[in-house]
Structure 1
Amino acid sequence: MPRRRRSAWVAAVPMGLLALATIYPLLFTTNVAMKTRREYILDRFSLAESVRGENIVTAWTSVGMGRYFANSVVVVTFAVALLLLFGSMAGFALSQLRFRGSSALFLGCLAALFIPFQVIMVPLARVMADTGLIDTYPGLILAYVAQFLPFTIFLLTSYYRTVPAEIIDAARIDGNSVYGIYRRIMVPIGRPALLSVGILNALFCWNDVLIALLMMPSAEHRTLMVGVTSLRGQYSADIPTFASGVLVAAVPVLAIYLFLQRQIADGVTAGSTKG
């Protein structure tokens, strides 16, 4: 066997095993969601006798996954919109505007990335409770903005620093104000980074359990991931229904990864290269 071909096999085999280990849980969950309780009890590893969607319909309607799904969509949409708005403004200011303390502010945002949420969760809950924002959509949205804004500012600042200063100077000569430069120059130039960071933040907010569980204690306002977590105890004897809830929560995330994986990779490396 040629040396180059042997090297390809050495890399392909571990990667294939890793891909199989990643795909198998999803296939197993899908198979369980298609089973009846009797089929699962008799043999949990066998293939489902037929493709049926009764369990998914039950999870969506009777269990309340449809309501949890809608809650997640509302919260994630507004949280990502605010993160992109504030993050892009701060990224533009910290990367292109010269003012006293800009470096200290950027270092402060960078330092905030290293603070675990568990450290601030008790003070955050007390502040939210004192302001009446517990168990409300605005409260959870603001909590997500506070948690993920340092990450957003860091990536967008790094990206906007790659914009040549000559473009900003030319916009000032043309009579644009700071707001005009931001709206007409920085937002269009930053669309690739904004899309990538928006996707990453949407995934972070969608997959979150801890913040949503802290801020939304009532069943009516639960997000999808919190609802799936609660199913484990409520439907411990009905594993196919629980698997259906997991499948409902996993499909949107999987779709985002499949169709927008290039943008996600670009978001991770945003600002790491010049140009």
Structure 2
Amino acid sequence: MSRIGWGRWFVAIPMALLALATVYPLVFTANVAMKTRREYILDRFSLTGALRWENVVTAWTSVGMGRYFVNSLVVVTSSVLLLLLFGSMAGFALSQLRFRGSSALFLCCLAGLFVPFQVIMVPLARIMADSGLLDTYPGLVLVYVAQFLPFTVFLMTSYYKAIPVEIIDAARIDGNSVYGVYRRIMLPLGTPALLSVGILNALFCWNDVLMALVVMPSAEHRTLMVGVTSLRGQYSDDIPSFAAGVMIAAIPVLLVYLFLQRQIADGVAAGSTKG
């Protein structure tokens, strides 16, 4: 076998093992969700004999996963729209507009990337309680926007820096205001980056547990991921029902990865572009 052939096998085998390690937990969870409690106790690793959807129906209706799903959908959609609006405007200003202190302001945005939520969790909860925003949808949306806005600004600024300044100058000569340049030039040109950043932020918000648990303590306003974690205690002796809840929460994320994996990869790479 040639040296090139050996090199391909040297890369393919670890990648295959990595793919197997990624896919197996998903297959195992789906298999457990289709079992009865008795089947799981007798042999948790065996394949289910039939597709039983009772556990999925129980998790969706009796436990309230349907309500949690709607809560997550409302919060994530609102947060992503605000992040794209503020992030694109800030990225345009920091990359193309010349004003004093723009570099320092960009560094301050970058500094926000290095502040973990655990550091500000306690004072944030106190501020949200004093402001009347605790256990409300707007409160959680504001928390998500504040937490993920530095990441959005960083990627949008990096993307907009690659756009030639001559395009902006030509638009200004044609009579466009700063807002007109942003709306007619920067938004259309930034559509690929906006799509990528929007997908990444949607995944971040959808998979979050800690922030939603702190801001939304009541069972009525729980997001889907918080509802899944509560299933573990409520159904500690009914693992198939818990697995069904995990599967419900994972399906939207899997669909996003399957159909929009190119945009996700482009969004990760957008921050590495050099303007």
Task: Calculate the TM-score normalised by the size of structure 2.
Answer: 0.99
Shift in Å at residue 88 of structure 1?
Answer: 0.4
Q: Which residue of 2 aligns with 1:253?
A: 253
Say whether the 8 Å CA contact 1:162–1:271 is kept in structure 2: no
What's 1:220 paired with?
A: 220
- Conserved? CA contact 1:29–1:243, under 8 Å: yes
Query: Which residue number in structure 2 is paired with residue 192 of structure 1?
Result: 192
Amino acid at match of 1:262: R
Cα pair 1:65 1:224 within 8 Å, conserved? yes
Matched residue type, 2:144: Y
- For 1:264, the equivalent position in structure 2 comes to 264
Q: How do 1:1-275 residues align onto structure 2 when only pairs under 5 Å count?
A: 1-273=1-273
Aligned-pair distance for 1:226? 0.3
Q: Which runs of 4+ in 1 moved over 4 A?
A: none
State the 1:271 CA deviation. Answer: 4.7
Task: Give the Cα–Cα distance (whole angstroms) in 2 for the partners of residues 55 and 48 of structure 1.
Answer: 13
| Alpha-carbon shift at residue 273 of structure 1 (Å) | 3.2
Question: Distance in 1 between the 2:170 and 2:12 partners?
Answer: 50
The secondary structure found in structure 1 opposite 2:114 is coil
- Secondary structure of the residue that 1:236 maps to in structure 2? coil
My pick for the range that moved more, 265-274 or 61-70, is 265-274
CA–CA distance in 2 between the matches of 1:100 and 1:10? 53
In 2, Cα distance between equivalents of 1:23 and 1:81? 31
Following TM superposition, by how much is the alpha carbon of 1:274 offset from its aligned partner in structure 2, in angstroms?
Answer: 5.6
Q: Which amino acid aligns with 2:132?
A: G
Alignment deviations for residues 133-186 of structure 1 (CA, whole Å, 9 cap, x no partner): 000000000000000000000000010001100000000000000000000000
SS of the equivalent of 1:126 reads helix
Distance 2:170 2:271 in 1: 22
* Residue segments in structure 2 that go unaligned for 5+ positions in a row: none
Give % identity. Answer: 80
Contact 2:158 2:274 in 1 (8 A): no
Residue 248 of structure 2 aligns with an amino acid whose one-letter code is: V
* Residue 272 of structure 1: how far off its partner (Å): 2.6
For residues 271 and 141 of structure 2, the distance between their equivalents in structure 1, rounded to whole angstroms, comes to 27
- The 8 Å contact of residues 213 and 226 in structure 1, kept in 2 or not, is answered as yes
String of CA shifts for 1:224-259, please: whole Å, max 9, x gaps.
Answer: 000000101110000000000000000100110111
| Cα distance in structure 2, aligned partners of 1:129 and 1:271 | 35
How many Å separate the matches in 2 of 1:216 and 1:271?
32
